[in-house]
């Protein structure tokens, strides 16, 4: 299925304005199930109910509240929420360029492709310049009533835009518990380096598939044809023991594999 644009905007860099279309760079392939009535196999609806009485609450009776402390809520009306929304705009403004790698991957949220919407010459000139300089642009824009900050870079000759999380959502490694056990000894460090070297290779995206989804879909297809498939559970072997023993066993296994090849 051909990709479809989900939004249009104007990429602003200084006085330059380049019309662009936004395409999602990922596709959600999660297996989703409908909730059905067990007797008639018809779809059922979910309703809002009063948790104390069980009585259904109509949409007109529903209010939005934020709990500031247990049992105490601040009520916000739709009119109040409407006034808080950011001002609508089609501009994707680049405020600065930063060195590559300065934005950690844990900030990245959702990737998009930006493609030209008419002005191809300036678009591809910008993509080439970003690729040659190896920098990332910090972008600000509003889309569908929400403000975004993102990272703009060149990817395979096109512009690639990734939304970034806010500072309050990113957890620093300094906030993690300090290691409690003993530090790796010299032998363990040497064996770890050997293991990393022996596993050196190239990332091949086609090798990484959602095996669970494929198994579920295969199971569903068989049942849809009136068959009674039997699906064995996947068992994961758990490794136990010291790091020294685990690494030694892994290295020996890798060496046997290389000799066999």
- List residues bridging with 152 in a β-sheet: 137, 161
Domain boundaries, the chain: 7-27+85-169, 186-193+209-260
DSSP state of 36: B
81-140 per-position pLDDT tens digit: 999 999 999 999 999 999 988 999 999 999 999 999 998 999 999 999 999 999 999 999
In terms of Cα–Cα distance, which of 117, 152, 156 is closest to 7?
A: 117
The pTM for the full model equals 0.76
Residues 140 and 93: beta-carbon distance below 8 Å:
yes
Beta-sheet pairing, 91-98 with 7-13: parallel
Domain spanning 7-27+85-169 has what CATH number? 2.40.290.10
């Amino acid at each position: 299925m051909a990709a479809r644009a989900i939004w249009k905007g104007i990429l602003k860099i200084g006085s330059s304005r380049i019309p662009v279309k936004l395409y999602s760079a990922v596709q959600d392939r999660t297996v989703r199930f409908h909730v059905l009535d067990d007797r008639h196999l018809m779809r059922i609806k979910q309703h809002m109910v009063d948790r104390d009485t069980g009585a259904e609450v109509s949409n007109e009776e529903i209010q939005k509240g934020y709990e500031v402390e247990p049992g105490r809520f601040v009520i916000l009306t739709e009119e109040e929420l409407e006034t808080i929304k950011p001002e609508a705009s089609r501009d994707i403004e680049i405020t600065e360029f930063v060195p590559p790698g300065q934005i950690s991957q844990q900030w990245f949220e959702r990737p998009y492709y930006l493609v030209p919407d008419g002005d191809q010459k300036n678009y591809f000139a910008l993509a080439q310049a970003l690729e040659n300089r190896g920098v990332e642009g910090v972008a600000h824009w509003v889309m569908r009533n929400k403000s975004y900050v993102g990272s703009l870079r060149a990817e395979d000759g096109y512009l690639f835009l990734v939304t970034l999380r806010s500072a309050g959502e990113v957890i620093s490694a300094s906030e993690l518990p300090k290691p409690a056990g003993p530090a790796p000894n010299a032998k363990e460090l040497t064996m770890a380096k050997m293991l990393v070297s022996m596993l050196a290779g190239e990332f091949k995206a086609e090798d990484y598939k959602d095996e669970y989804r494929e198994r579920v879909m295969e199971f569903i297809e068989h049942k849809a044809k009136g068959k009674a498939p039997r699906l064995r559970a996947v068992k994961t072997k758990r490794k136990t023991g010291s790091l020294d023993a685990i690494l030694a066993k892994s290295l020996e296994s890798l060496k046997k594999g290389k000799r066999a090849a």
